[in-house]
Amino acid sequence: MGKTLLDEFEEHIEISEFSKINSKSLTILPSLKNFEINDKINLILNSENIKKLKLFRFGEYLAVCDEIDLYLSEFSDSIFELLPKDVDIQGVSFLLYELLINIYKHSKFENSYIQINISPDEQQIDICIIDDGIGIPKSFYEGQIDYKNDCEAIYQSINGKTTDKEKYNLHGRGLNTSVRLTTLGFDGEILIASSKGVCYITSDGAKLHQNKRRINGTFIMLRINNKKIENIYECIKFKKINKLEVDKND
C-alpha cells in the first residue's frame, strides 16, 4: 500500500522551506514554521502545473462577486488543460469551485496557489491549494465561534460550521461538500492544515492532529482517483464526518 497524504505530511513536518517530495505526490509543501509568499517562493512555483489565484479587493461586494464567479469559470478551464482527457469534468469542476470559493469567502489571502500533479498512469490526481490568509482558527475567532483548539476548528469547519454571513453573495456549499466529493465521490483522501491543526479525512472519517509548529494560512492537499462519480448529488448532500481519533503531539 502506498503512502497516504498524512504519511507524507508527517514525514516532512520539520521542513522550513518549500521542498520537493516524491514525484508521485505533491512537489511542494509549505513551511510549518511560517508560510510566507516571497519572491524566492514565487520563482519555485513558476511551473506549468502551478496556478496563482487572482486577488480581489472586496470594496463593491456585488460587483466583485460577479467578477469572481466569472474568473473561477475561466480559471477552471485552465486547470482542465492540466488534467487527463477522460476526467470527470462535472465532478472536478464542482470540487474546485467549492474549494476555491471557500478561500475567497473566508481566508483574506494576499497570495494563493493551486498545484496539480498526475500519476504516470493518469489514474490518480493530486491537488494542492495553499494560501497566506488568516487561517481557519483565526476566521473562527474573528467570527466569534467557540472552538477547543486548532484541529477542532478545522473539524467543525468540515461539518458545516461557518463564519459566512453571505455578505459577499458567494454561494458555495462549504468544506463538507468538498470532503464528501473527494472521499465518497472520487474514493480519495484530503488533508487540511491551518495554524497548529491538521485534519486528515478518508471515507472512514476524520483523524485530527495538533502540531507543535504553526503554519500561517491554510494548506489543503487532496488526492482523487480518475473515475466517474455515479451520483454526484448524493455526494453533495450534507452529512456529518465522523471523528476517528485525536492524536495530540504535545
Average pLDDT, the chain: 77
pLDDT of residue 84 exceeding 70, the answer is yes
Residues 173, 189: Cα–Cα separation, whole Å: 19
Question: Cβ(195)–Cβ(157) under 8 Å?
Answer: no
* DSSP assignment letter at 45: T
pLDDT in tens, 21-36: 233 333 444 433 333 3
Question: Cβ(154)–Cβ(175) under 8 Å?
Answer: no
* Count of structural domains, the chain: 1
Nearest to 70 by CA among 89, 90, 97, 92: 97
Calculate helix-pair angle for 61-80, 89-106, nearest 10 degrees. 140
Sign of the dihedral defined by the CA atoms of residues 165, 37, 56, 76, in that order: negative
Question: Cβ(192)–Cβ(219) under 8 Å?
Answer: yes
pLDDT in tens, 209-220: 887 777 778 889
Lowest average pLDDT, out of 9-23, 47-61, 117-131, 193-207, goes to 9-23
- Domain housing 14: 5-248
Percent of the chain with pLDDT over 90: 27
pLDDT in tens, 108-149: 888 888 888 888 899 999 888 888 889 999 988 888 888 889
How many residues does the structure list for the chain?
Answer: 250
pLDDT in tens, 164-189: 654 444 444 679 999 999 999 999 99
- Element containing residue 7 per DSSP (H, E): helix 5-11
- The predicted pLDDT at position 34 comes to 36
From the number of C-beta atoms within 10 Å of its C-beta (0-12, 13-18, 19+), residue 13 rates as: middle
> Hey, what's the cell of 200?
486528515
pLDDT of residue 56 exceeding 50, the answer is yes
Taking every pair of C-alpha atoms in the chain, what is the biggest distance, in angstroms? 50
57 vs 77, residue with greater confidence: 77
Question: What pTM was computed for the model?
Answer: 0.81
Q: Which amino acid is at 176?
A: N
- The predicted pLDDT at position 184 comes to 94
